[in-house]
Amino acid sequence: MRPRVCLSLAGIALAVAGCARKPSDADTMGMTAEEHARMQAGAPGAADTAGGGGVRLTEPEERALGVQYAPVARETLIRPIRTVAHVLAPEPGIVDVTPKIEGFIERLYVATTGESVRRGQKLLELYSPMLVAAQEELLTAKRLVDAVDPAAGEPRRNAEATLASARRRLAYWDVSPEQIEQLERTGAVSKTLSLAAPVSGVVLEKNALEGQQVMPGMRLYRVADLTSVWAEGEVFERDLRYLHEGTPVHLEVEAYPSEHLMGRVAFVYPTVDQRTRTTRVRVTIPNPGLRLKPGMFATVFFDAEIGRNVLTVPAEAVLATGERNLVFVRGDNGVLEPRSVVVGDRAAGRTVILDGLREGERVVAAANFLVDAESRLRVGAAAMPGHQHGAGAPPQPQPEHRHD
């Protein structure tokens, strides 16, 4: 057992030395033209400086080294990207309620922040002397039209134009067509104007009090539709290529720790923060029951598709030498041959292979460094003067000479 341990340590030393030096003229002496060409082109072979030659291991040797095999497989590789985000009210669903006429708040129907409102629901009654005057002008124009003979020509057209102008004026102040029709039908002037909720949602802000004087453009309510919400977080720029509109997203919030909520990427911001090297990403999440509240924190998991139907191997199967990437492929004859490969992205413990392997081939998935050291050891032993055996062949017993 002791000589075996010494040989293994010597093999590891040879592996480290082989990765650190370049082939000299002495190394290339005795090579065939094919071997020399393979070495110059970087193809694996017995003279490959990034790995030893092929090696055949017995089952006891495989168990001792901990060698395991895995097939080269095709699969769709998904890489999870995790970030922390905060929940926001969606901007398209936020509406401000503002008057377009000067007046006084006579009555509030929605008096507290946080109330839920329906589209068209009355929020307040606004008394405006200007509104009263505009209604009286409309009624006067209506009576004038009724009094002028339709065959009067120009006077009739002027009266109808005045009536249309009075109607437009009220409409510009958000008086509904139904209210204008009722005014013309009944002739009853209303001293107040009702402001209604433009969307169904939740009152995020309320700046209205009974008796308060208001001016045109003053924000009295801010209402948000929260049937869907936004979650915004930041991802590193190296992950941007995997994110696009429609990418599925999983979310977890502290309020519902056992639930996985689903959403999709809605927008990737076009700028990168120069300090953090991150970009903001916006996610849209359905919010039935209004369970997600603006201001909440959420953990967001992006399901980034690295590749569809790509060749992959276990990440441990790739041996990086500093100059190239190697894998040991198990041939039909049981020989483990080092092979250079071109690798792609890595995710979920798998590495994408862009070139160098075929689907179905079996590669060393564990202890490949020890396999590399063993192959170097045997190549080195085969190159020693007086050695007459191939790599991996056990020495033959020599006949004993006795002198009587």
Query: CA 356: distance to chain centroid?
Result: 30
Q: Is 260 exposed, middle or buried (0-12, 13-18, 19+ CB in 10 A)?
A: exposed
Pairing of the two strands 325-330 and 256-268: unpaired
pLDDT tens for each residue of 208-263: 999 999 999 999 999 999 999 999 999 999 888 888 898 889 999 999 988 889 99
Token output for 100 = 């377009």
DSSP letters, 347-383, are: ETTEEEEEES--TT-EEEEE-HHHHHHHHHHHHHHHT
Token output for 259 = 């639930």
CATH of 80-90+226-305, one of 3.30.70.20, 3.40.50.300, 3.10.450.50, 2.40.30.170: 2.40.30.170
pLDDT tens for each residue of 356-375: 899 989 998 887 777 777 66
Q: What is the pLDDT of residue 19?
A: 40
- Report d(CA 56, CA 331) in Å as an integer: 10
Q: What is the pLDDT of residue 34?
A: 40
Where does 92-220 have alpha helices with state H?
Answer: 129-147, 154-172, 177-186
Name the pTM for this structure: 0.62
- Report d(CA 313, CA 306) in Å as an integer: 14
Per-residue confidence of the chain (404 residues) as pLDDT tens digits?
A: 444 433 443 343 334 344 444 444 444 444 443 444 344 434 333 333 345 567 788 888 888 888 888 999 898 888 888 999 999 999 999 999 999 999 999 999 999 999 999 999 999 999 999 999 999 999 999 999 888 888 888 888 899 999 999 999 999 988 888 889 999 999 889 888 889 999 999 999 999 999 999 999 999 999 999 999 999 999 999 888 888 898 889 999 999 988 889 999 999 999 999 999 999 999 999 999 899 999 999 999 988 888 888 899 998 889 888 788 888 898 888 888 888 899 988 887 888 999 989 998 999 888 777 777 766 776 665 555 555 444 444 444 555 545 44
Q: What is the pLDDT of residue 381?
A: 58
Domain boundary assignment for the chain:
2-77+308-382, 80-90+226-305, 101-224
Topology of the domain comprising 101-224: OB fold (Dihydrolipoamide Acetyltransferase, E2P) (2.40.50)
- What architecture does CATH give domain 2-77+308-382? Beta Barrel (2.40)
